[in-house]
Amino acid sequence: MQPLLQNWKIYLDTCCLNRLFNDQTQARICQETGAVKIILARFFTTQWQWLTSTVLINEISRTPNKTLHTEMKVLLDLANQNVTIGVAETARGTQLELLGFKWLDALHIASAESGQADSPNNR
C-alpha cells in the first residue's frame, strides 16, 4: 500500500463528484462521500493532483439541476490538469467499449490513462 502523502495524480469521474450531493441516509453512500471529501481535501492542499477531462466537463454541463451543475463546476475549476478527448482517447475508448465498458465510462478510463493518472498498479 502506498503512503497517503505521496503526490498522486487522480481522476474522478462524474459519479464520484455526484456522490457529494446524493442522499446520505445509507451508510455506504456516507462512506463513499467521506472518501471523496478526503480526496478533494488532498487536491485543495496540493498534496495530490486532480486530473479531469472534456468528457467529464461535458457530462457535468448536462446536469439538469442548475444548483448542482454550478457547485460541480466550481469544484472542476480547481483541477490541475484537463485531458482533451482526441483521436487517441477515442480509439482507446472504442477498445474498452469492445471489452464491455459503457461508452462514457470507457472515455473516462481513456482520459485517465492519457493523463497518466496513478493507480495502485503503476506505482
The per-residue pLDDT for 122 is 67
Q: Is 93 exposed, middle or buried (0-12, 13-18, 19+ CB in 10 A)?
A: buried
The per-residue pLDDT for 100 is 98
The per-residue pLDDT for 5 is 56
Asked if 77 and 69 touch (Cβ cutoff 8 Å), the reply is no
And the C-alpha cell for 18? 455526484
Asked if 117 and 12 touch (Cβ cutoff 8 Å), the reply is no
Domain 9-116, CATH class in plain words: alpha beta
Q: Which residues lie closer than 8 Å to 77 by C-beta, 6 or more apart?
A: none
What are the extents of the domains in the chain?
9-116
- Strands, E assignment, the chain: 9-11, 49-53, 81-83
Strand, helix or coil for residue 7: coil
Q: What is the pLDDT along the chain (123 residues), one digit of tens a residue?
A: 455 557 899 999 999 999 999 999 999 999 999 999 999 999 988 889 999 999 999 999 999 999 999 999 999 998 999 999 999 999 999 999 999 999 999 999 999 999 999 987 765
